[in-house]
Amino acid sequence: MDESDSARATAAAAETPNLSAPRLPFSQMAIWGFVISCASLFVFGFLGTVGAIISAQGVKAATRGLARGKGLGLAGFFIGAAAFLYWAITYMVTLSH
């Protein structure tokens, strides 16, 4: 009996499909948008717009289920937008004086 039970268990395990889905890759757009947005905080603030646009494309890909990284894309978008706004306000104030 023990041999037949183990044979059935082995056969059942062989027939059971692997139901775990493969992990999606991270969105390259979300990663690059985040990096550019963070760099724009320290180097050139106007690059924040580029980072925000690229991050938004990464969020779109993550929302469609094509990749992971929605949170990273959102962070890149908001950081890029904040960097651009800070740069624009600073630039305008500097020109007015």
pLDDT in tens, the chain (97 residues): 556 666 665 655 556 566 677 888 898 999 999 999 999 999 888 899 999 999 999 999 999 989 999 999 999 999 999 999 999 999 999 998 8
Look up tokens 């890029």; give the residue. 80
pLDDT at 44: 85
Four-point Cα dihedral 61, 66, 68, 74, nearest 10: 10
The pTM of this model reads 0.74
Please measure the distance between the N-terminal and C-terminal CA atoms of the chain and give it in whole angstroms.
93
